[in-house]
């Protein structure tokens, strides 16, 4: 893919959301299950299911979502992350309910630029929805969190640098994820999480994302104050995914 990846995918997302219906998930109340699952003394694993990514190419063709989610659950994962973006990540919003059928809270990851995406995610069964501080200013983040709070659904606000962290804090984010992968050139550095963690407010649930492959990586991030890590590609490529999840916290 040529040019700036983030700008390209946002442009295509705008085209995709034009035809989204306005959904009313009346009666939904998820009681902030995602946030609850990430609290506690030990570091938590959010295990991700995705079919592909621009940086890695095809990872799992037509994944058996329920089977993978059960493997992650057996390994001790506290939550499941589902990448639903259909074009560049080959995901599907239908996977949210399929993953949720095993009983763990599910984070829906897409490039959210419209409130209709939030409502569709809630209706699909998400316990949490990703908000990118690279795409939303503080006011939009605050509005999105308020909308989700009405359904007991959490927002994981993702940042890549201190400027985006300021937006997340200004928007009232209670769960902040630091993506160690630069979405513009795909370089990964765990030091990004370590540098940003020290700037986060007390009481915020801290999640480290991308580039996490070993128990040493997890321990490094735990020592930096993170409550959870989100791991995808390195788990998906394993034959025994349950053991791979378990090995991360061994």
Task: Work out the average pLDDT over 192-207.
Answer: 97
Q: Is 42 a catalytic residue?
A: no
- Give the list of residues 6+ apart from residue 163 with CB closer than 8 angstroms, or none: none
Q: Give the per-residue pLDDT at 3.
A: 40
Annotated catalytic, 109?
yes
Cβ atoms 46, 80 nearer than 8 A: yes
> What phi and psi values does residue 228 have, to the nearest 5 degrees?
-155, 160
Active site residue 101: no
The enclosing domain of 127 has a CATH number of 3.20.20.70
For the entire predicted model, the pTM comes to 0.96
**Residue 183: pLDDT above 90?**
no
Q: In terms of Cα–Cα distance, which of 23, 47, 24, 20 is closest to 238?
A: 47
Confidence of residue 182 (pLDDT cuts 50, 70, 90): confident
Lowest mean pLDDT among 95-99, 144-148, 154-158, 181-185: 181-185
Which residues form the domain of 51? 5-248
**Given a cut of 80, is residue 241 above it in pLDDT?**
yes
Q: Mean per-residue pLDDT for 61-88?
A: 98
Catalytic residue among 53, 127, 210, 227: 210
Active site residue 85: no
Per-residue pLDDT band at 186 (split at 50, 70, 90): confident
Torsion of CA 214, 218, 219, 222, to 10 degrees: 180
Q: Judge whether residue 37 has pLDDT over 80.
A: yes
Contact 203, 175 (CB under 8 A): no
Q: Out of 164, 194, 209, 233, pick the active-site residue.
A: 209
Q: Is the pLDDT of residue 64 over 80?
A: yes
Could you give the number of structural domains in the chain? 1
**Burial of residue 177 (number of CB atoms within 10 Å: 0-12, 13-18, 19+):** buried
Active site residue 246: no
Question: Which of 53, 179, 180, 227 does the annotation list as catalytic?
Answer: 179
């Amino acid at each position: 893919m040529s040019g700036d990846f983030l700008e390209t995918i946002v442009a295509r997302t705008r085209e995709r959301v034009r035809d989204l219906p306005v959904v009313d998930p009346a009666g939904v109340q998820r009681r902030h299950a995602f946030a609850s699952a990430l609290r506690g003394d030990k570091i938590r694993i959010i295990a991700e299911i995705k079919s592909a990514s621009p940086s890695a190419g095809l990872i799992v063709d037509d994944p058996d979502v329920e089977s993978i989610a059960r493997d992650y659950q057996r390994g001790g994962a506290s939550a499941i992350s589902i990448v639903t973006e259909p074009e560049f990540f080959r995901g599907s919003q239908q996977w949210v309910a399929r993953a949720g059928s095993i009983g763990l809270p599910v984070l829906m990851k897409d490039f959210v630029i419209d409130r209709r995406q939030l409502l569709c995610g809630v209706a699909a069964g998400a316990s949490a929805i990703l908000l990118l501080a690279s795409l939303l200013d503080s006011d939009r983040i605050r509005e999105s969190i308020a909308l989700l709070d009405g359904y007991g659904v959490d927002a994981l606000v993702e940042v890549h640098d201190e400027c985006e962290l300021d937006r997340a804090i200004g928007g009232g984010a209670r769960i902040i994820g630091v993506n160690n992968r630069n979405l513009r050139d795909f370089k990964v550095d765990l030091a990004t999480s370590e540098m940003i963690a020290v700037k986060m407010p007390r009481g915020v649930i801290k999640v480290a994302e991308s580039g996490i492959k070993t128990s040493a990586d997890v321990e490094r991030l735990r020592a930096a104050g993170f409550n959870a890590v989100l791991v995808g590609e390195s788990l998906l490529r394993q034959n025994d995914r349950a053991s791979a999840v378990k090995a991360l916290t061994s």
